[in-house]
Amino acid sequence: MKRLVVDDEWWDKVEYLLAFTKPIVDLICMFDTDKPNLGEVYEGIDSMIEKIRVLINAKEQDPNEVFYREVKDILTKRWNKMTTSLHLLAYAVNPKYYSVELLNDPERTLPNNDPEVSQGYKKALRKLFVDPDIAYMIREEFSHFVGSEGLGAGNDPFSS
Q: Does this model's pTM top 0.85?
A: no
Residue 106 · residue 86 · CB < 8 Å = no
What pLDDT score does 130 carry? 92
Rounded to 5 degrees, φ, ψ at 70 are -65, -45
What pLDDT score does 149 carry? 57
Q: Is 65 helix (H, G, I), strand (E, B) or coil?
A: coil
Residue 94 · residue 111 · CB < 8 Å = yes
The better pLDDT of the pair 22, 97 is held by 22
Residue 24 has pLDDT above 90, yes or no: yes
Q: Report the amino acid identity of residue 69.
A: R
What pLDDT score does 63 carry? 64
CA distance 143 to 149: 8
CA torsion, ordered 35, 40, 41, 46, to nearest 10 deg: -150
User: What average pLDDT score do residues 120-140 get?
Assistant: 90
29 DSSP 8-state letter: H
Residue 101 has pLDDT above 50, yes or no: yes
Instruction: Give pLDDT tens digits for 107-128.
Output: 888 888 889 888 998 899 989 9
Across 49-53, 99-103, 145-149, the highest mean pLDDT is recorded for 49-53
Residue 85 · residue 125 · CB < 8 Å = no
What pLDDT score does 7 carry? 86
Residue 92 · residue 41 · CB < 8 Å = no
Instruction: Give pLDDT tens digits for 34-80.
Output: 888 888 888 899 899 999 999 888 888 776 678 888 999 999 998 88
Residue 49 · residue 75 · CB < 8 Å = yes
Tabulate helix, strand, coil % of the chain (nearest 5).
75, 0, 25
Residue 17 has pLDDT above 80, yes or no: yes
